[in-house]
Structure 1
């Protein structure tokens, strides 16, 4: 019975996502199956945590079977709606059959699938055999979920001063009490299904999250026009990254969830820029808005969508006026000493946002930690030896077309976030101590790799057209 409940908790949110997302893609579209499966798990899991919040908001105790019944009803409704609405192909017909498959290509495709399957089995065993291990997992995310599981309600967590001055059985405290609740709710969901607390099984969703990222990554590459073997090679490059594997095996951190949410939002956003597909735009919007609910850094990543969105939507003259106005406002802000409203501060010396933190602004940090972590240590294999030259050599290609230039602006916004974090604030210590430098990069790397791969495809195809 426990096994059945565990499988229900793992697969029911996935099925919920499939039921609603299959409305958006015709079955003949390139990569539709993997794409729907990948996005479905992430959206279904996020929807489950949203339902748990609503359940608590109306005063009901957290209970697995009533919540599962609600999810099942929504799933059945989704399948019923999908039967009554069929989307046209919009030209995304799978033409992979026109590519002749040599025996070596078939063998390589099968080998890559086998290697990925073996790797995921190993990662799953790592999760099952290891107790809760990562620091943030057993100091922040899991303790909160464990309290909620014991009480069957989402009691609030506050700072230690508030807790000391208002002693109550209804409030609790943690050092990172203000962190978003989503990751803890994912662990709570599994615990409710098990009817017990299990330090290993609560982390199985991390394995599914990595698999969903890979499926959606492959599906988006196929939809972009890459052939199946090239798409699978790109997916293998992503899923074999050591740091991504570490965050899957040492489950419990929120970074893998934010990496999947932000990167899949970014891929859908690039697809929307390319062809105006409203379903891709909807996916990008939903997942971008979900980022702040996973980690506080998600708010900053969400803002990286604004520059390319403004460039895409505004006429050229309006963009120039907006740019000039932005420069003028920036100058006024700097001369006036910034903005201070209560606890909110945005000045040339300090950034303080209540939901994000307090940061001292000054030019600091250095390139040595980046050189070591990106090019010398084993965190990323040879990713940066591919990405840096590919981006540099593709600059003329990106400038040649407006859509690619907007995509470059999007990737550049991510670079600005990374530079600002590690070179303009006291968070430079995170890079110098090698603590968070790779975790921040992990949020952005799947999107960067996707953009590099589609640029490489364009480099190979455009000379042929000339």
Structure 2
């Protein structure tokens, strides 16, 4: 199995080097940034929208340049390591991100006492997914990086339970890296924070923290006085017409109805995920059962299933549901959570075998 995974990964590397694909999002923003920064030898600020008209003198502009600069910086660092500009080789980091995903899952499971078979099985379940393989070839998209960083963050939480709080440093570094990739990273940060808190405090304190956080957010929106942009979902906050919520903005009623069958087709019919989502219902039940007895499973369940519930809510009640109907972003957004779900699956198997009690001190 390990040899097959290595062979598959080598084929993806060859695809990136000899038959590179240039996704639209990547070359409308990030690839341009890396090229400008490499040849200009300074960190030029890109302007987009009305800001381009407001800047005095010449300036660079590119589509979607409002996103954080993480992807462009990854390509720039690759070019600096190469010593010359190459629009194919600068994307070698994407297959490396795929390999890193497997190494994090493998290393975490082995460190907490998992057998070689369980660790490799969890890695294979994630690395063989067609969506993940496609994202490793479509260098320039940031979704595989968000999945990797979110996996690293949850792995740091697991290792903190096993070996002490110092491993939370891994979580902090991973969150910082995730926030540098795309604005959708901000969607997972509060879910991850709630999960980490759940791993260390009692449930009543979690509930109190959630209530205080909600009230604090509402207070911020009230004081700010103008609805703020919430990613691709629209605007959220208090305006002249009262509370503005992005739900149902430009979303017809029929779209809300047909979104669910379309989502189920993406998960269970189309060849995007093999049989991965068929295993998820059983994994949900098992992990929630163990979460009642072990804090580490409570943390992982909140991050994975809480994140999935949040994403399904956005699919159902906002313009993001259009991404399900036209098939543009639905699988890429789900990919953010899949590596962490794969790690949770490995932990569930270890707990079922009885080999996780001593290592995680639960």
TM-score by length of 1: 0.67
CA contact (8 A) 1:398 1:408 kept: yes
Counterpart residue number, 2:2: 113
Q: Which has the larger radius of gyration?
A: 1
Counterpart residue number, 1:232: 120
* 1:158 match: secondary structure: coil
**Aligned residue among 176, 181, 187 for 1:300:** 187
CA contact (8 A) 2:228 2:236 kept: yes
Higher relative contact order (CA 8 A, sep 6+): 2
CA contact (8 A) 2:284 2:305 kept: no
Counterpart residue number, 2:271: 378
Determine if the alignment matches structure 1 residue 164 to structure 2 residue 53.
yes
Q: Residues 238-294 of structure 1, C-alpha deviation per residue, up to 9 Å, x if partnerless?
A: 11111111111221211111111111111221332x335233211012111321111
Matches within 5 A, 1:210-229: 210-229=98-117
Counterpart residue number, 2:236: 351
For 2:354 and 2:201, the matched residues in 1 are separated by 30
**Aligned residue among 266, 277, 281 for 2:168:** 281
**Aligned residue among 34, 38, 58 for 1:149:** 38
Shift in Å at residue 323 of structure 1?
A: 5.4
**Aligned residue among 328, 336, 339 for 1:435:** 328
Q: Residues 104-160 of structure 1, C-alpha deviation per residue, up to 9 Å, x if partnerless?
A: xxxxxxxx1211121111111100112342111111110111111221111111123
For 1:376 and 1:326, the matched residues in 2 are separated by 39
Gaps in structure 2 of 5+ consecutive residues: 238-243
- The answer to which of 397-406 and 288-297 deviates more is 397-406
**Aligned residue among 171, 186, 193 for 2:74:** 186
For 1:427 and 1:343, the matched residues in 2 are separated by 22
Determine if the alignment matches structure 1 residue 389 to structure 2 residue 282.
yes
- The answer to which of 433-442 and 195-204 deviates more is 195-204
CA contact (8 A) 1:268 1:283 kept: yes
* 2:236 match: secondary structure: strand
CA contact (8 A) 1:339 1:345 kept: no
Specify whether residues 240 and 268 from structure 1 end up closer, same or farther in structure 2 by C-alpha distance, changes over 3 A only.
same
Shift in Å at residue 340 of structure 1?
A: 5.7
Shift in Å at residue 168 of structure 1?
A: 2.0
Counterpart residue number, 2:26: 137
For 1:383 and 1:316, the matched residues in 2 are separated by 30
Specify whether residues 404 and 292 from structure 1 end up closer, same or farther in structure 2 by C-alpha distance, changes over 3 A only.
same
Shift in Å at residue 342 of structure 1?
A: 5.9
CA contact (8 A) 1:422 1:428 kept: yes
**Aligned residue among 235, 242, 253 for 2:130:** 242
**Aligned residue among 155, 158, 169 for 1:267:** 155
* 1:253 match: secondary structure: coil
**Aligned residue among 361, 364, 369 for 2:247:** 361
For 2:202 and 2:288, the matched residues in 1 are separated by 23
Shift in Å at residue 428 of structure 1?
A: 1.0
CA contact (8 A) 1:132 1:138 kept: no
CA contact (8 A) 1:351 1:360 kept: yes
* 2:228 match: secondary structure: strand
Gaps in structure 1 of 5+ consecutive residues: 1-111, 353-357
CA contact (8 A) 1:338 1:346 kept: no
Specify whether residues 457 and 341 from structure 1 end up closer, same or farther in structure 2 by C-alpha distance, changes over 3 A only.
same
Matches within 5 A, 1:39-188: 112-169=1-58, 171-188=59-76
For 1:183 and 1:326, the matched residues in 2 are separated by 31
CA contact (8 A) 1:132 1:199 kept: no
Q: Across the two proteins, how many residue pairs are aligned to each other?
A: 342
Counterpart residue number, 1:18: none
Q: Residues 285-323 of structure 1, C-alpha deviation per residue, up to 9 Å, x if partnerless?
A: 211132111111111212212222333444455445445
Specify whether residues 456 and 136 from structure 1 end up closer, same or farther in structure 2 by C-alpha distance, changes over 3 A only.
same
Specify whether residues 195 and 453 from structure 1 end up closer, same or farther in structure 2 by C-alpha distance, changes over 3 A only.
closer
- The answer to which of 144-153 and 442-451 deviates more is 144-153
For 1:132 and 1:325, the matched residues in 2 are separated by 46
For 1:164 and 1:323, the matched residues in 2 are separated by 42
Shift in Å at residue 188 of structure 1?
A: 1.5
* 1:351 match: secondary structure: strand
Counterpart residue number, 2:349: 456
